[in-house]
């Protein structure tokens, strides 16, 4: 039997130790980080070799699962999606002002707009607006975007098409991996250029090659080579990385796991009260005495057995509501079984609440070799319920701030402060919103990269004139810069 441990049962728990010596730590291992970098190599899915997304080829799924299970991150990402999307996609050109600043001039182009609005009419599953919204979400979850290029049928028949690109289709990063037919599994220096295929399928469940679809990878140098090719646009990071890296996720993954688990810790504590409330010290002399007693009973049963007694006539021991069959041969396992039955009986007694009122739990005292009295000691462990819950809440608040800072969203924009209240400072919200808007250039460039390339193919002359597609994000005016009659505080209430 272990020298120390924990006993649970009947909705109760307590710790115990044998003897009064010091107890060694139950966990002496130093914490270690599981977020280590593991060298990757191409994996085979006959006849293809694909590059795994992480050590277990599940980084996108792990990221999506942890984020979706968090109470803050989904709404924060949707807020980022809404801010980047603004009032929606719009064509524009850029002009350099006399003071050197760059200003966008938004415009309407009937020809380009007609092509954009024709996507679903030409058989694509989503409109260009839905395509862009999906791209934004992929960017904020993984910073990488897969797009399938649908080309005109006339182009496939070697005929000239006025608009070669029919439209674009978004593919989830959860379903795509870069691949090649070339065996690069032993190649030490692998780059994105080594992959000319994209495998699409359910990587979470695995499966055989026939369950995946292989597409040509889009080649910007020859964009009209094949219809159905898939491009991969990403926010550039380290050149050695094949896939985009979610810049905020890896560093705060332990915090996400922790804050996702906090409600479970609190609910489990409140529902089950599994924390030990008593500590029991069992004297060594008790074990010595019980060992001798069990040995004598076994010897007695052996004599009775030799005299022809049946098993029903052998001596047994009653412990609480349970009965221990002693048998005819003593072993240490018999002593352990008896001790565990005594501990289980004590558990039932301590968990009895009102039905054991007025009762006592009695054990014998023993005199050790020094003449001192040894007996079972039941010490109450102070239950710091308040401290435990407050510690979890404090951790949760700290985790919230870590998540917010990692996402780069100021509390005045996210409406979350360190105390979990809504920030009401208009000045903070205004200036932090303006600062946040200045950081949208890279996300917008990556999200709109393929659509702008398609515009350059279908409308090369207009593209040379500087026509691009982006997102219109209106600048919020300060109330002091608005005419008094137009200020929100002076607007009539809606009935």
User: Where are the chain's structural domains?
Assistant: 43-248+425-489, 278-353
CA distance 46 to 443: 36
**46: which DSSP letter?**
T
What lies within 8 Å, CB to CB, of 219 at 6+ separation is: 196, 225, 229
End-to-end CA distance of the chain: 75
Residue whose tokens read 């979470």: 204
CA distance 129 to 106: 17
Closest by Cα among 385, 354, 142 to 246: 142
> Rounded to two decimals, what is the model's pTM?
0.69
Cα dihedral 31, 34, 38, 42, rounded to 10, equals 160
Show contacts of 327-331: CB within 8 Å, 24+ apart: 327/298, 327/301, 328/298, 328/301, 328/302, 329/298, 329/302, 330/291, 330/294, 330/295, 330/298, 330/299
By CB neighbour count within 10 A (0-12 exposed, 13-18 middle, 19+ buried), where does 233 fall?
buried
Q: Quick one: tokens of 105?
A: 């001039």
Q: What string of pLDDT tens digits covers the 495 residues of the chain?
A: 556 565 565 555 556 666 665 554 444 444 444 556 678 899 999 899 999 998 899 999 999 999 999 988 898 899 899 999 999 999 999 999 999 888 999 999 999 999 999 999 999 999 999 999 999 999 999 999 999 999 998 766 566 668 999 999 999 999 999 999 999 999 989 999 999 999 999 998 876 777 899 999 999 999 999 999 999 999 887 655 799 988 778 788 888 998 888 888 877 776 655 455 677 778 888 888 889 999 999 999 999 989 988 988 899 999 888 899 989 999 989 988 988 888 888 777 766 554 544 444 545 566 666 777 777 777 766 667 778 788 888 888 888 888 888 887 777 677 666 554 445 556 667 767 777 777 889 999 999 999 999 999 999 999 999 999 999 987 765 556 556 665 444 545 444
Secondary structure string (H, E, C) spanning 131-191:
HHHHHHHHHHHHCEEEEEEEECHHHHCCCCCCCCEEEEEEECCCCEEEEECCCCCCCCCCC
- The CA distances from residue 339 to 18, 290, 301, 323, 351, in Å, are 11, 9, 20, 13, 18
Cβ atoms within 10 Å of 138's Cβ, excluding its own: 25
Q: How far is CA 210 from the centre of its chain?
A: 30
Q: Quick one: tokens of 169?
A: 């289709």
Cβ atoms within 10 Å of 343's Cβ, excluding its own: 19
């Amino acid at each position: 039997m272990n020298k120390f441990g924990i006993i649970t049962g009947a909705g109760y728990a307590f710790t115990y130790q044998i003897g009064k010596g010091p107890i060694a730590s139950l966990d002496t291992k130093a914490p270690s980080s599981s977020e280590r970098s593991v060298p990757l190599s191409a994996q085979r899915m006959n006849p293809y070799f694909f590059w795994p997304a992480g050590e277990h080829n599940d980084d996108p799924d792990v990221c999506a699962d942890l984020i979706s299970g968090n109470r803050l991150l989904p709404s924060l990402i949707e807020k980022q999606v809404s801010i980047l999307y603004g009032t929606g996609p719009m064509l524009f050109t850029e002009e350099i002002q006399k003071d050197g600043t760059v200003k966008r001039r938004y415009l309407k182009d009937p020809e380009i707009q007609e092509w954009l609005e024709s996507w679903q009419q030409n058989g694509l599953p989503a409109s260009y607006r839905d395509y862009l919204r999906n791209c934004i979400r992929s960017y904020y979850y993984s910073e990488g975007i897969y797009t399938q290029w649908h080309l005109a049928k006339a182009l496939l028949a070697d005929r000239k098409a006025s608009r070669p690109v029919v439209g674009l289709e978004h593919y989830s990063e959860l379903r795509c991996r870069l691949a090649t037919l070339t065996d690069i599994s032993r190649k030490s220096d692998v780059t994105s250029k080594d992959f000319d295929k994209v495998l699409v399928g359910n990587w979470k469940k695995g499966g055989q090659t026939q369950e995946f679809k292989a597409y040509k990878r889009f080649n910007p140098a020859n964009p009209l080579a094949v219809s159905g090719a898939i491009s991969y646009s990403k926010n550039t990071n380290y050149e050695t990385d094949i896939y985009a890296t979610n810049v905020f996720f890896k560093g705060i993954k332990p915090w996400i796991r922790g804050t996702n688990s906090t409600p479970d810790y609190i609910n489990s504590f409140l529902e089950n009260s599994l924390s030990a409330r008593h500590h029991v010290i069992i004297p060594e002399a008790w074990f010595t005495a019980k060992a001798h007693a069990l040995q004598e009973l076994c010897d007695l049963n052996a004599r009775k057995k030799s005299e022809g007694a049946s098993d029903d006539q052998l001596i047994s021991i009653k412990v609480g509501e349970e009965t221990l069959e002693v048998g005819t041969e003593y072993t240490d396992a018999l002593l352990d079984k008896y001790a565990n039955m005594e501990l289980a009986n004590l558990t039932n007694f301590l968990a009895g609440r009102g039905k054991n009122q007025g009762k006592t739990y009695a054990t014998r005292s023993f005199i050790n070799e020094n003449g001192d009295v040894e007996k079972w000691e039941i010490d109450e462990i102070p239950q710091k319920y308040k401290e435990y819950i407050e510690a979890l809440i404090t951790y949760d608040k700290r985790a919230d701030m870590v998540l917010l800072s990692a996402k780069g969203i100021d509390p005045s924009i996210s409406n979350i402060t360190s105390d979990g209240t809504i920030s009401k400072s208009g000045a903070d919200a205004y200036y932090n919103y303006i600062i946040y808007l200045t950081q949208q250039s890279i996300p917008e460039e990556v999200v709109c990269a393929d659509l702008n390339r398609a515009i350059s193919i279908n409308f090369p002359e207009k593209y040379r004139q500087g026509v691009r597609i982006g997102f219109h994000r209106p600048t919020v005016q300060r109330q002091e810069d608005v005419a008094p009659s137009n200020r929100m505080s002076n607007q009539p209430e809606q009935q």
